[in-house]
Structure 1
Amino acid sequence: MDDLTAILVAKLQLEDIDELTDRSKDKQGCLTDADHALIAYKEELQELETFISDRRLGRSISEAVQSDGEYITAARVEEQNALRDRHLACALGGVRDSQKDAADKLAYVDVDEELLRRLSLLNDSQNPFSLSEESHIAGEPSTSESVLSHTTASEIPRRQCVACQERKHTFDVLEAPCHHIYCRDCVSDLFQTSTTDESLFPPRCCRQNIPLTLASDFLTSQFMDRFEEKEIEFTTLDRTYCAQSTCSAFIPSHRIDGDRASCPMCHQDTCTICKGLSHDEDCPNDRALQNLLATAAEAGWRRCYACRRFVELEQGCNHMTCLCRAEFCYSAFMLEEPRLFNATISPVMLKSNNDGWNTLYRIYANDMSANTNAGYMYADRTYAKSVITHFLSTYLNADNAAFRPATAVDGTGCKDVKHR
């Protein structure tokens, strides 16, 4: 039986069911058990009618792709070339192309191998998908009831899912790279579980990964976006998660700057070294940095107050210009010589005669004296102290004072120096 005949038989059956249902209603309009059975059978007939119509459309597309695919491709290429020539001619001639906007909206969908395989399956006249007369039981009268009873379920091809062991329609299953069959529900469950259980990521069967593109027909676009995010997370070696206990979101690499990671969810900063909340000081858990600090202390290196780079004076004066363009005096970082600080600040204090400046000077000078007695060096103190030095340098430079902290004590100009 061809598709049109099957659809006609289904419509006749639907009309008979409607007539029987209306006739069997009692005066109160209640339905009996037999009426409910007829309604259920009616729903099956409607599904069969829709299925046959969809199959005819798929078969028509498949035949067109198989028979006219080369001609369609050639015609499409020729049309695209003509459109490009028109756009180029209009652009060279300074003429507005009225058809350009409409042409840009044209979308062509390439038929991949998987889609071609499915369309070929629908167009296979030898598979049990077709409603042929040979499929009828021998000797059985070819009535509409017998035809529909044998075409609703038994003649639609099914394949068994290796996970749930249920037999599903061929168009509703996925064949893994290892040739095992999974139904739609099991594929969805496998991919969903892999995003919450890292041991199951990536989804695989027989130790062969199942590509996301292979299962795209069975997954929503929202889930595929989330799956790709999880793929980035699970493939990251040294991961950083938000230190905020109420968040704990994964922080991708493009949101990490140095040892500071910004959470994309709550925007809390996390230290990438100790994985705790971000801190301004050097991370105590950074063993490499601690070893470098010990080496710098032995060698007498200084740290830039702005970018925290290590700087070593090899020759020249004490005026240092860091790679970040910050300037400072190399000798002023040594607390054992407070006279350098006094020689630098005193002339400006006398010039400015500012009470706030004098107060800041006294606090800073006392702190220098206390740390000098303790034998500390400026390079080993907290970052907050370096902020004061930065403020002093900024203030003096902004004030256009004749004497700057980056100038040598004797007032001579500084020369370029080498630094690391």
Structure 2
Amino acid sequence: MSDTLALTLFDPTGIDAETALLIARLALDDIEEVEANRKGKTRADAPPGPEERAFDLQRELFEGFLQLDEDYRFARSLDDALAADQDILTIVGDLERAAEDDHRAAMAVSRGLPMPPLSVAQRSIEDLELPAVEPPKKTVLALLPPPAPDSTSSVASTSGSILLEGSSNPGPTTRTFPRVECTICGDRLRNVTMEFSGPCGHYQCHTCLISLVETCTRDESLYPLRCCQQRIPLDTVFPRLKPFLRSRFRHKAIEYDTPANARVYCPKPSCSTFIGPASTSTPSSSQNDHLECPQCNTSVCSQCRNEAHGTSLCPENVAVQAVKDLAAAEGWQTCPSCHSIVELAFGCNHMTCRCGAHFCYVCAAPWKTCQCAQWDEPRLLDAAQRRVEVEVRGRDELAPNLFMERVRVQAEQLRVNHECDPHAWRYRHGGGMCEQCNYNLPMFLMRCRNCQILACKRCSRNRF
């Protein structure tokens, strides 16, 4: 227990590490024995003498050396584990960087920008296939402390390393990374268990799910939330939304669930906030029900949807009447459910309003309850020509006589079978405009194999 011994431990010339550790432990045992024999031979309140201070310094020195060795073994085991798992860590890093690059590319394409070139990470994992390994029956990660020098345990050689119980040999494990894609943007999803899966089994990344909910609060045709015509349970979506978006969607759901012809909005154009359902009383009632706008505190008559006018009869809304006159002059039709004005650009007389109502464009009666013709002949030929052009990628691809024959055949098919449900979607390479939301995409669209309608991925999954 001299200074020479301490210097030898920290400068072990001619002495191995295990011997130095053994000397340190034996020295600590000797110090404990000496201190035990000295107990009771001095006053309890007496200050420590030079010998006691020397023993304390020696103890601190040897304990520090043992702690240093333990820290070294632990750090070495972590370094060995990192070195052994280097390939796996490299793959994980490449997957994360490639996923970020894929998302940036998808966002650029969705904005109409050119596709950026493949990054180094994207190229490195383009053809990556990781083998699936059956996991052990019982996998427990255990960090073992360093053993005593005289330990004969079978795990002595794995001091400070990470072991897997149930596995024959300690060491790194092989992990599998399923190549699941977001059905909307096509991004590869790294952690499938954390992503959203709809009732149809399609996955959506967090960004696309949030975008769907936000867009739904502005576009009623996306309500209720659905994928592949299956309604998405809200209790699986709400936990993934921020509180303000969750509250905003709930308010919009109340508005959308109110029948369109019963909704009352603030009449001020600068506000237009949804107030609630209209009263069921008749307009001729002397007691008009008034609603108050929660946003600007404007009092609104629930009968005529104008500003409150006391107990007098509801006045005619001049602006609404002007729009009705314009619609009548242009031949536009009014939805019998929500009273929205619609125009038929192409297709049959079967109209599907954004509120969900189905009616005849000629007489506004509920669909298939009237005797009106289902097709207007000029529109029938226009619809047949458009479908053939989509199918053959332009009329220049066929001789004029063959093209017109295809149009005639398609027109006869539309005359007897023009409703396509469900759609049979296929990828169509090449840009174009989505016929549902009018969004222009530069790379590809989805094409229905039956009715030849072109749609973006969002509309094909969440609207139709």
TM-score, with length taken from structure 2: 0.30
Higher helix share: 1
Larger radius of gyration: 1
